[in-house]
Structures are given as structure tokens and as C-alpha cells.
């Protein structure tokens, strides 16, 4: 008999549906909601969050979990029960009134951030951002007590289950020992090489959008279960059966939007590939944001910035935008898309300097969470650390500490997963190529099926049935580490 487990499945299904509704409202808020709808949306999201929290905090939940642990379950049911228990520990640690306050504060702050960034107004955003930070720390302390971790690790666990900051410190230290000299060598080498020819002219948004849709189709995106829109900050949202991705456009530069679309398509393919039989169960969710970011960065950085894929993409770009043939050659596009140069904007950074952006944000958010820095001092600390790690300083907060949506929306503890995901992406892509050496040649024809088929079997279908390290070890032969990322860098940049 699995009576207790079955009751838990029903309850978590209901919570999953509430969460799905919240996801769709979040997408609408970011993509098409008028600014005047912010207060109403805040009320809607807060109500959904409270309803979900109340279901999680039902008095009998602990007894049901304990009873289910004594029942006869198969491997996936056991894994699902383990995820239920982890979610329950997180959910019961935070009272409903705090959940409601957080939801309202995050919604208001996210909407205010859009105007603050446009107006370069950190001081104007500061009171709302301070409220979000204070509430996040309060929730983090409650979760830390329940999990037996530090406050920062409790917040990190929401985005990367079982990852801890001491391991991140070790991995990032290894990267920091490698990247500065490597970056300098790449920059010096590229100075001696032919500079990429920049495609010139105007790149209408409608044309960029059409190209993005074509490339999404090539990757395998199912437009019967998703769509592409515009937002202030590119993201992938929605649910597995209705995946919503967004990008932002610059009519003077097509490169960022196109790669942004491909990056988010990687996220979308992971969501669509999650096992249908486990929809709205914890085990059927993505295995944390390190794995999620590995899938977006694998598509964007590993596959779509390769010379093989750009052999296919060049003629697509030329047909859409016109211009000089030399600008659309695979070799020129490869030089363009692998050009290494420190820049201010994280989402536009090359893969060599990108980790510095993440390491900086990781250290800043830990300092803020742990009380070692005041939020009012963030702009100065940001600029100082940017100069130290990348040798450049923002001239304003718009391109400095206001550029990311994560902190205004309450995502404290998310940032390190970007670079952890880049490491995982290198491991996974290398393993996929080893398993099927035809993958690079297929990419040169715009055929992603060989790659996606391997990912579906080894990554997507695994969902949260095991830990990130266990999934990686089975798929690639080793747990998460830096070696494959370093090997990829040496191979791509010839150093």
C-alpha cells in the first residue's frame, strides 16, 4: 500500500499547478503587462504564494512524509518523496505572512527596477531593494535553522540543491588561478590576428525576430508549446507545456539578440524535455539552476558559437540582412563571436571574461546577505570590484549595479549557477561529442537532432531523480569540475 505517498502526490500536484499559474503571471508581468497593472499583479502573485505555502504547511504533511518513507516505492517514487521532503523543509521554515510580504515586495521592486535602470536611479530603487534584501535575509535565516546551513547557503539551496558556498569557493578559486593569464594571452593573440569584419547597416527588429524564430526551429523548439517575446531582460519562463522565452533587440547590433534567443532556447529545450509522467511533481522539475544554465550555455556557447554551426548560420544571416559576403563567412563570424574583450554588461560578455562577472556578483551578494556590506554602498563596491577583476569601471549605475533583474526580483543566491553551469556545459558537450562524433558535422547543416537526442536521454529525462553530480557522473564520467571547461577554452582559443 502507498496510501500516504498517493496523498502526497495529490497535494504536490495542486501546489505544482499553483506554481505554474504564478510562472505564467510572472512572464506576463515581464513581457506585456502595462505598468499600471503592477499593484493588481502583486496581489495575484502574493495570493498564489500564500495558497501554495498554506498547502505545504498543512499540519498532517510531516506525518504523511514519515508514513510514506515506510511504504514500498519504486526508484522514481523514492526520489520524488525525497524532493517532497526537501521542498517541505524549505516551505515550512517560512511562515505565510512572510511569504506574502516577500511576494509583494519582489513584484513591486521588479517593476520599479525597470524605471530605475532606464533613469540610472539607484537611490530611487534603494528603499524597495532594501526591503527585498531584508525579507530575503529573514527567510534565509529561517531556512538556515531548518537546513543546518549558513544563511547564504540556505538561499543558494533554493536554486542549486545541495550546493554549498565552500565548494563554490574552491571551484571559483581554481578558475581565478587560471583565467587572468589565459585571458591576457587570448587578448594578445587576437591582437595579432585579423580583426573580425563587423556587419554594417541597420538590423530591423522584425528581421532579427524572424531569424531568431528560424534558429529556434532548427534547435528543435516546439512552437505549439511556446513562444518568443520581448522583455527588458532576456529570460525563459512559463511551464514545460507552454514555454515562454524573451530577448531584447538593438537595431544597430544583431549579435546579442540572436545569441540571447539561442541561450534561452537551450533553457526551453530542457523544460520541454522533462518527463511528462512526472509533471507537477517535485521529481519532474529541472535539477536546479546549475543544470538549467548548463543547457542554455551548451546551446549558446558550446554549439552555436562553434565554427561548425556558424557555417550554417552565415547564409541565414546574409539572406536576412544582406551585406558583404566576407562579413557572413563562418571564419569571420567565429572571430566575431569568440572575440575576447572585457565589457560592462554580463549578458553580452564573452565566455572567457564572463566568469569574472559572476564571481563578482557572488561575492557582493554574499557580503550583503552576511551583513558585511550595506546595500547603499553597492554601487561603489561594484565599480571597485569591476575594476579589480576586469580592469574597467562603469560610468553609471545603469551599466553597473542596476543591470541585472535578479536582486530586485528576490533571486539572492542565483548568480553562481551561471558559471557552475558553464563548467557543466563543457563536460556535457564533450561527452555528447565523444558518444556521437557526428554532432559537429550535423551542426554545420543546422541539424540539432543528434545533440538534442543525446541530451534528452542523458540530461533532460533525468529531471530531479538524482543529484546534479550523480547525473553528471553518469553522463560525463565525473562530477562537476573545472577541467573540461579549461580544456574547452584551450581548444577553442588555441592556447
Which residues are designated catalytic?
264
Phi first, then psi: give them for residue 113, nearest 5 degrees. -60, -40
Instruction: Give which of 171, 115, 455, 173 is closest to 299, Cα–Cα.
Output: 455
In angstroms, rounded to a whole number, what is the distance separating the alpha carbons of residues 294 and 424?
6
In angstroms, rounded to a whole number, what is the distance separating the alpha carbons of residues 178 and 298?
21
Residue with cell 531582460: 233
Query: What DSSP character marks residue 244?
Result: E
Instruction: Give which of 370, 361, 470 is closest to 418, Cα–Cα.
Output: 361
Question: How far from 423 is each of 189, 294, 300, 366, 456, CA to CA, in Å?
Answer: 24, 7, 14, 21, 19
Neighbours of 356 (CB within 10 A): 24
Instruction: Give which of 484, 455, 461, 39 is closest to 283, Cα–Cα.
Output: 461
Burial of residue 462 (number of CB atoms within 10 Å: 0-12, 13-18, 19+): buried
Residue with cell 528543435: 220
In angstroms, rounded to a whole number, what is the distance separating the alpha carbons of residues 280 and 46?
20
Query: Is 453 within 8 Å of 276 (Cβ atoms)?
Result: no
Pairs from 371-378 (Cβ < 8 Å, separation ≥ 24) = 375/126, 375/129, 375/130, 375/133, 376/126, 378/122
Query: Is 29 within 8 Å of 112 (Cβ atoms)?
Result: no
Neighbours of 334 (CB within 10 A): 20
Query: What DSSP character marks residue 299?
Result: I
Phi first, then psi: give them for residue 230, nearest 5 degrees. -110, 140
Q: Is 54 helix (H, G, I), strand (E, B) or coil?
A: helix
Phi first, then psi: give them for residue 302, nearest 5 degrees. -75, -50
Instruction: Give which of 453, 418, 414, 420 is closest to 436, Cα–Cα.
Output: 453
Q: Which residues contact 380 (CB under 8 A, 6 or more apart)?
A: none
Dihedral of alpha carbons 48, 50, 51, 56, sign: positive
In angstroms, rounded to a whole number, what is the distance separating the alpha carbons of residues 43 and 56?
20
Amino acid at each position: 500500500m502507498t496510501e500516504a505517498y498517493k496523498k502526497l502526490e495529490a497535494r504536490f500536484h495542486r501546489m505544482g499547478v499553483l506554481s505554474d499559474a504564478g510562472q505564467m503571471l510572472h512572464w506576463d508581468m515581464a513581457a506585456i503587462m502595462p505598468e499600471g497593472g503592477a499593484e493588481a499583479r502583486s496581489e495575484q502573485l502574493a495570493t498564489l504564494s500564500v495558497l501554495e505555502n498554506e498547502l505545504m504547511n498543512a499540519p498532517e504533511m510531516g506525518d504523511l512524509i514519515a508514513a510514506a518513507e515506510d511504504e514500498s516505492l519504486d526508484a522514481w517514487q523514492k526520489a520524488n518523496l525525497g524532493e517532497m521532503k526537501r521542498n517541505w523543509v524549505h516551505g515550512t521554515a517560512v511562515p505565510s505572512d512572510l511569504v506574502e510580504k516577500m511576494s509583494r515586495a519582489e513584484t513591486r521592486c521588479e517593476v520599479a527596477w525597470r524605471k530605475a535602470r532606464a533613469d540610472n536611479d539607484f537611490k530611487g530603487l534603494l528603499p524597495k531593494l532594501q526591503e527585498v534584501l531584508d525579507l530575503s535575509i529573514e527567510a534565509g535565516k529561517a531556512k538556515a535553522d531548518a537546513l543546518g546551513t549558513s544563511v547564504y547557503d540556505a538561499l543558494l539551496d533554493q536554486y542549486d540543491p545541495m550546493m554549498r558556498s565552500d565548494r563554490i569557493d574552491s571551484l571559483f578559486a581554481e578558475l581565478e588561478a587560471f583565467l587572468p593569464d589565459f585571458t591576457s594571452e587570448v587578448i594578445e593573440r587576437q591582437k595579432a590576428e585579423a580583426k573580425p569584419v563587423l556587419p554594417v547597416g541597420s538590423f530591423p527588429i522584425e528581421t532579427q525576430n524572424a531569424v531568431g524564430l528560424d534558429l529556434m526551429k532548427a534547435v528543435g523548439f516546439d512552437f505549439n508549446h511556446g513562444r518568443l517575446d520581448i522583455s527588458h531582460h532576456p529570460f525563459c519562463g512559463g511551464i514545460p507545456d507552454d514555454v515562454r522565452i524573451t530577448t531584447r533587440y538593438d537595431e544597430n547590433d544583431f549579435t546579442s539578440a540572436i545569441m540571447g534567443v539561442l541561450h534561452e532556447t537551450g533553457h526551453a529545450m530542457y523544460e520541454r524535455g522533462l518527463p511528462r509522467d512526472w509533471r507537477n511533481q517535485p521529481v519532474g522539475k529541472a535539477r536546479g539552476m546549475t543544470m538549467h544554465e548548463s543547457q542554455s550555455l551548451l546551446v549558446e556557447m558550446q554549439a552555436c558559437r562553434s565554427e561548425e554551426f556558424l557555417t550554417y548560420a552565415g547564409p541565414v544571416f546574409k539572406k536576412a540582412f544582406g551585406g558583404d559576403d566576407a562579413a557572413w563567412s563562418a571564419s569571420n563570424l567565429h572571430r566575431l563571436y569568440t572575440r575576447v574583450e572585457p565589457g560592462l554588461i554580463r549578458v553580452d560578455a564573452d565566455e572567457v571574461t564572463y566568469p569574472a562577472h559572476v564571481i563578482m556578483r557572488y561575492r557582493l551578494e554574499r557580503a550583503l546577505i552576511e551583513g558585511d556590506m550595506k546595500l547603499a554602498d553597492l554601487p561603489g563596491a561594484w565599480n571597485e570590484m569591476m575594476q579589480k577583476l576586469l580592469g574597467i569601471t562603469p560610468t553609471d549605475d545603469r551599466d553597473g549595479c542596476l543591470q541585472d533583474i535578479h536582486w530586485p526580483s528576490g533571486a539572492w543566491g542565483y548568480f553562481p549557477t551561471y558559471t557552475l553551469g558553464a563548467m557543466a556545459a563543457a563536460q556535457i558537450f564533450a561527452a555528447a561529442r565523444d558518444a556521437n562524433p557526428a554532432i559537429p558535422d550535423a551542426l554545420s547543416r543546422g541539424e540539432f537532432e543528434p545533440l538534442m537526442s543525446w541530451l534528452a536521454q542523458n540530461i533532460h529525462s533525468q529531471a530531479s531523480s538524482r543529484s546534479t553530480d550523480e547525473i553528471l557522473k553518469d553522463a560525463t564520467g565525473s562530477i562537476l569540475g573545472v577541467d573540461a571547461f579549461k580544456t574547452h577554452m584551450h581548444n577553442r582559443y588555441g592556447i
